[in-house]
Amino acid sequence: MTATEAVARASRRLRWQIAEVREIVIETPRVRSLLLYVAGWQGHLPGQHVDIRLTAEDGYQAQRSYSIASSPESELLTLTVERVMDGEVSPYLVDELRSGDKFELRGPIGRYFVWTVATRGSLYLVASGSGIVPLMAMLRHREFHKAPVPTGLLYSSRSLEDVIYREELDAMARRDPNLHVFHTLTRKQPDGWVGHRGRIDKYMLVGALVPLVSKPNIFVCGATSFVEHVSSVLVQLGHDAFAIKTERFGPTGG
Amino acid sequence: MNDNAPISRGFGSGRRAQTPKDRVPPGQYVTTDFPVLSAGPTPQIKVEDWTFALQLGGSLIGKWSWLEFEALPQTTIATDIHCVTKWSKLDTVWQGVTFDDLLKAAEVGGSTAPFIMAHCDGGYTTNLPIADLVDGKGMIATRYDGLPILPVHGGPARLLVPHLYFWKSAKWVRRLRFMQHDERGFWERLGYHNYGDPWKEQRYDGD
Amino acid sequence: MAENISDLVLDGNAAAGCLHEIFASDITIAQIQCDACSSTRPVGSLRLYAAPMGAVLRCRHCDGVMMRAVNTPYGRWLEMSGTRCLRF
């Protein structure tokens, strides 16, 4: 039974488990990936998230949800966290957390926003900022299985240094003729930049769809305003609203 | 709280502002921003279309258009507010019409009823005893920090009852309906405490 | 927490954890039918409001409240008068 099969069959109560930080990867100035060991972890599906809970010495607790960045085939569970200014939890996770630290975690949660290589059809992913995280789990899973699924990713970031997983995405795209990655930089573009500029618009969405011949499974992830905008444009372009799955990263991510 | 929860090394230290214990109810932490929580989409109401009413039995004993409401005696208060989700905000300044002045303006001399249900645009409701609105304890607020209340914070007008948890300070309030018998509102019928005193930590039904 | 008006609303799949506590399983892929307008969608695609206090799930088509859920230390509450049916 594969990791994904295990999760698909499980229907059990969520319980809090202990996550131990094994490694911290600096993705961008604001973003860290936390590689976690969770004893007894039952596996997950690409796109799912976890709840984490932190407890201060005086007993105060804070809880947040984070998408799982790692594919189900990875040994360690990866969460990628962006530091939100004045956030309560993310600055702790990004700036304070060290290898060996522990916190509570439960999951995986949410089978709605999920894609696996068993899903038929092409794959269209649209993300802004840390919205790339659950989509990265899907891409890593796709790569692990060398699935020849026609896939497009349109990824919006503020500047080149803010592009999370930049080298990994470039390398994936180089290795795989079926994967097409398009970037847009909204605030600052380096000299000689040939990618898109500015907020995602109809033309960028259409352009990134071109390589996908069949009607795609669409996943959109990012801040609510971004997700609403992209979804409505995709619907205007004629895509079935039911084929568009969205995950809005709201205020609970701070 | 789970007594076995591991302490997250270094979490929370210094993050929450130091405040005198008598200002902050148990279990709350002070915030300097103004978090928003809504049970539905923000109604976009034009003041030209806005009315506010007091309802007793089957009739409206008071009804005001926006201009009429603005012409009522205005009161400004500075107060602390406490949300059941654990944030507290100190020294917030509100302006509006107190419940006492509303009763006076509606010329409600005699007895009304012991309870109120607040009805709001978007369908939200919350219930209160009259005793928690009179004597300056409650108002219909139209200004926050000197400016018209933003729609996302309940504008054009919201109920303000700061001595109770903030879910009782119903946003987008349009009508206060007097009730002989208490009825539970939106959150009160779904597990939240019927009264909601932050100083007694009455968050949930059972507290 | 949100200051930005448009960041208030989430998707139903953000309620998955809260709902999982109530249903003891993930219902975000269940089909849910609105009692007011009869439209049917997965629970995960509904609009989610009020996330810190509880889950208020609204119909994508008519904005009607379809389901409300609250987890309290004294028990879990669920109200579904806006749902005609739920298919797991």
Q: Is C34 on the interface with B (CB under 8 A)?
A: no
In this structure, what DSSP letter does residue A160 have?
G
Predicted pLDDT of residue A28:
96
Same domain, A86 and A173: no
| pLDDT level of residue A253 (50, 70, 90 thresholds) | very low
Number of domains chain B contains: 1
Tell me the pLDDT tens digit for each residue of C1-26: 333 344 467 888 888 888 888 888 88
Say if the Cβ atoms of C10 and A106 lie within 8 Å.
no
Same domain, A249 and A136: yes
Predicted pLDDT of residue A8:
53
Tell me the pLDDT tens digit for each residue of B160-188: 999 999 999 999 999 999 999 999 999 99
* Section A186-195 average pLDDT: 95
Say if the Cβ atoms of A252 and C51 lie within 8 Å.
yes
Who contacts A52 (Cβ-Cβ below 8 Å, separation ≥6)? Answer: A19, A63, A64, A65, A66, A79, A89, A103, A104, A105
| pLDDT level of residue A252 (50, 70, 90 thresholds) | very low
Among A83, A109, A135, the domain boundary falls at: A109
Among A75, A109, A143, the domain boundary falls at: A109
Predicted pLDDT of residue B138:
98
In a domain, A195, yes or no: yes
Predicted pLDDT of residue B35:
87
In a domain, A219, yes or no: yes
Same domain, A14 and A90: yes
| pLDDT level of residue A254 (50, 70, 90 thresholds) | very low
Q: Contacts of residue B33 in chain A, CB cutoff 8 Å?
A: 86
* Section A173-201 average pLDDT: 96
| pLDDT level of residue A250 (50, 70, 90 thresholds) | low
| pLDDT level of residue A187 (50, 70, 90 thresholds) | very high
Domains of chain C, by residue range, sit at 5-87
Say if the Cβ atoms of A246 and C16 lie within 8 Å.
no
Asked if the model's pLDDT at residue C51 lies above 90, the reply is no
In a domain, B44, yes or no: no
Q: Choose between A223 and B187: higher pLDDT.
A: B187
Number of domains chain A contains: 2
Mutation test of the interface with chain A: which of C6, C9, C46, choosing the one with the most A Cβ atoms within 10 A? C6
Residue in chain C nearest A110 by alpha carbon: C16
Say if the Cβ atoms of C79 and B187 lie within 8 Å.
no
Same domain, A42 and A105: yes
Predicted pLDDT of residue A249:
81
Boundaries of domain holding A13: 3-109
Same domain, A79 and A16: yes
In a domain, B6, yes or no: no
Predicted pLDDT of residue A209:
86
A195: domain CATH number? 3.40.50.80
Say if the Cβ atoms of A102 and B1 lie within 8 Å.
no
Q: Contacts of residue A246 in chain C, CB cutoff 8 Å?
A: 11, 45
Asked if the model's pLDDT at residue B14 lies above 70, the reply is no
Tell me the pLDDT tens digit for each residue of B97-106: 999 999 999 9
Q: Is C6 on the interface with B (CB under 8 A)?
A: no
Q: Contacts of residue A89 in chain C, CB cutoff 8 Å?
A: none
Shortest CB distance from C44 goes to which of A106, A110, A225? A110
Q: Choose between A4 and A30: higher pLDDT.
A: A30
- Residue A42 CA to residue A50 CA, distance in Å, equals 13
Q: Choose between B31 and A158: higher pLDDT.
A: A158
Residue in chain B nearest A96 by alpha carbon: B10
Predicted pLDDT of residue C4:
39
Q: Is C8 on the interface with B (CB under 8 A)?
A: yes
The beta strand positions in A40-149, using DSSP E, are: 49-55, 61-67, 77-82, 102-109, 123-128
Contact B88, B31 (CB under 8 A): yes
Q: How far is Cα of residue A156 from the mean position of the Cα atoms in its chain? A: 13
| pLDDT level of residue A60 (50, 70, 90 thresholds) | confident
Same domain, A102 and A130: no
Show which of residues 35-94 on chain A sit within 8 Å of chain C, judged by CB atoms.
49, 51, 65
In a domain, B135, yes or no: yes
Boundaries of domain holding B151: 29-34+49-200
In a domain, A115, yes or no: no
Predicted pLDDT of residue C5:
43
Q: Is C36 on the interface with B (CB under 8 A)?
A: no
H or E element that contains A229: helix A224-236
Say if the Cβ atoms of B206 and C65 lie within 8 Å.
no
In a domain, A89, yes or no: yes
* Section C41-65 average pLDDT: 92
The beta strand positions in C14-74, using DSSP E, are: 31-34, 40-42, 47-49, 55-58, 65-72
Q: Choose between A133 and B11: higher pLDDT.
A: A133
* Section C27-54 average pLDDT: 93
Say if the Cβ atoms of B13 and A101 lie within 8 Å.
no
Predicted pLDDT of residue C88:
82
Q: Is B73 on the interface with C (CB under 8 A)?
A: no
- Residue A127 CA to residue A159 CA, distance in Å, equals 14
Phi first, then psi: give them for residue B98, nearest 5 degrees: -70, 155
Among A109, A144, A161, the domain boundary falls at: A109
H or E element that contains C78: strand C75-79
> What pairing do the DSSP bridges indicate for beta strands B59-65 and C31-34?
unpaired
Tell me the pLDDT tens digit for each residue of B137-162: 999 999 999 999 999 999 999 999 99
| pLDDT level of residue A75 (50, 70, 90 thresholds) | very high
Q: What is the rounded average pLDDT for all residues in chain B?
A: 92
Residue in chain B nearest C53 by alpha carbon: B85
Which residue type is seen at A11? S
B114: domain CATH number? 3.90.420.10
In a domain, A22, yes or no: yes
In a domain, A199, yes or no: yes
Task: List subunits contacting chain C, requiring 3 or more Cβ pairs under 8 Å.
Answer: A, B
Contact C56, C50 (CB under 8 A): yes
- Residue A65 CA to residue B32 CA, distance in Å, equals 23
A12: domain CATH number? 2.40.30.10
CA distance C6 to chain B (A): 9
In a domain, B152, yes or no: yes
Alpha-carbon separation of residue A35 from A76, A107, A146, A230 (angstroms): 6, 16, 23, 31
Asked if the model's pLDDT at residue A3 lies above 80, the reply is no
In a domain, A159, yes or no: yes
Predicted pLDDT of residue C2:
36
* Section B22-49 average pLDDT: 90
Q: Choose between A38 and C50: higher pLDDT.
A: A38
* Section C40-64 average pLDDT: 92
- Residue A70 CA to residue A79 CA, distance in Å, equals 7
| pLDDT level of residue B13 (50, 70, 90 thresholds) | low
Tell me the pLDDT tens digit for each residue of A103-114: 999 999 999 999
Q: Is B189 on the interface with C (CB under 8 A)?
A: yes
Buried b (16+ CB within 10 A) or exposed e, A87-123: bbbbbbbbeebeeebbbbbbbbbbbbbbbbbeeeebb
Give this complex's ipTM: 0.88
Same domain, A51 and A100: yes
